[in-house]
Amino acid sequence: MKKALILGAGGFIGSHMVKRLKKEGYWVRGVDLKYPEFGKTEADEFVIGDLRNPLVVKEVILAPNQNELGKGSFDEVYQFAADMGGAGYVFTGDNDANIMHNSAMINLNVAEWAVKYKIKLLFYSSSACIYPKYNQMDPNNPKLSEDSAYPAAPDSEYGWEKLFSERLYLTFLKNLGLNIRISRFHNIFGPEGTWEGGKEKAPAALCRKVIEAQDGDFIDVWGDGKQTRSFLYIDECLEAVLRLMDSDFIGPVNIGSEEMISINNLVRMIIGISGKNLKIKNIKGPEGVRGRNSDNKLYREKIGWEVSQPLKVGIEKTYQWIEEQVKSRKN
Ligand code: NAD
């Protein structure tokens, strides 16, 4: 039986990955500061621990029954833990010191102990936020091919930390033989993601606003609404990660959708799903770059797989799930 360690297993992508790997027959240990928010974890073992602490990382990376020389080590380690949130958390500047310090500490510890305890394969989740701002000024023609990352000019400290950690893991591969796979996620969304409180991302925040609105209301949308993005449904993300892990391609490689949509059109899509009569009001707020869309050419070439569903299918499922959350909160 394969053994996997999932760091950040209490978070959105990590908790979904636990479920997916359990379905695939793995033995799974999850680690996080907190348990998953929506439903019990399916991990065989769940450790509450702070990965900024090297002693915690040392302890959790050692697999059950592993000897200190590496025999019996984890087959796969998934590093999802990070101090992150949506635009309201990442782009205001108020959380930059925490974002930089907390996530860098986690990655420094993980890289060190992954080598010392000879884990067989490590996945690192980087982000589309590493891409330079200067290639994302035109909402209709953003450039996000992997080789466009340099000269680096991310538009947030969150992006800089991700770029630093990509490079950290790549040096551990080059000098110390750490076997890694790196992907740059582009806006992953779906049920059981944060949907209120300030750390939620655009699809969840917009679904919530529409669900809470009454006929005739205006939906507040940050910026002029012409900024473009693409969004990838969680199940597709997990499939893409597992296929990357099964390949011998190291990355960094984009994992995202190429179905680009303006934020106002995303709101229109959600309003359409709701069946309500609502209008859009564009207001001042953190909005990030003007245009962003995944470029999947490299992934297609190296892994040979495509996203299978249109955005609307995932948005419908997410809308339904958030609607249930809103209803149960009111009861
Ligand atoms: P998330 O915030 O839901 O999950 C991250 C988890 O890390 C949280 O549960 C948090 O408690 C945990 N964590 C933070 N600090 C920790 C610490 N010191 N010790 C232990 N655990 C700690 O985020 P997510 O959406 O599941 O994202 C997972 C990874 O993918 C992150 O690294 C994120 O930067 C990256 N990513 C996500 C997206 C996306 O759209 N969701 C896009 C690009 C990159």
> Which residue among 6, 7, 12, 235 is best mutated to probe the pocket of ligand 1, counting the most ligand atoms within 8 A of its Cβ?
12
Tokens of 299: 């992934």
CA distances from 260 to 227, 228, 278, 292 (A): 10, 6, 23, 8
- Note the pTM of the prediction, 2 decimals: 0.96
Taking the centre of ligand 1 as the mean of its atom positions, its distance from the CA of residue 135, in whole angstroms, is 26
Q: Look at 292 and 71; give whichever has higher pLDDT.
A: 292
Classify the phi-psi angles of 170: left when phi > 0, otherwise alpha if psi is within -120 to 50, otherwise beta. Answer: alpha
Taking the centre of ligand 1 as the mean of its atom positions, its distance from the CA of residue 297, in whole angstroms, is 26
Q: Of all helices (H) and strands (E), which one includes residue 123?
A: strand 122-127
- Residue with the two structure tokens 């997990």: 238
Is residue 52 lining ligand 1, measured as CB closer than 6 Å? Answer: yes
> Where does 191-230+259-289+309-326 sit in CATH, by number?
3.90.25.10
Please give the positions annotated as active site. 158
What ligand 1 atom has the least distance to the C-alpha of 232? 40
CATH 3.40.640.10: does it fit domain 3-188+233-255?
A: no
Nearest CA to ligand 1 atom 13: 81
Domain layout of the chain by residue ranges: 3-188+233-255, 191-230+259-289+309-326
If you average pLDDT over residues 61-65, what whole number do you get? 93
Model pLDDT, residue 90: 84
Collect all residues with Cβ–Cβ distance below 8 Å to 305 and sequence separation of at least 6.
239, 240, 243, 299
If you average pLDDT over residues 273-284, what whole number do you get? 96
Is residue 61 lining ligand 1, measured as CB closer than 6 Å? Answer: no
pLDDT band at 330 (very low <50, low <70, confident <90, very high): confident
Specify the pairing of strand 228-229 against strand 261-262. antiparallel
Domain 3-188+233-255 matches domain 191-230+259-289+309-326 at the CATH topology level = no
If you average pLDDT over residues 78-94, what whole number do you get? 87
Bridge partners, 255 (sequence order): 185
Classify the phi-psi angles of 304: left when phi > 0, otherwise alpha if psi is within -120 to 50, otherwise beta. Answer: left
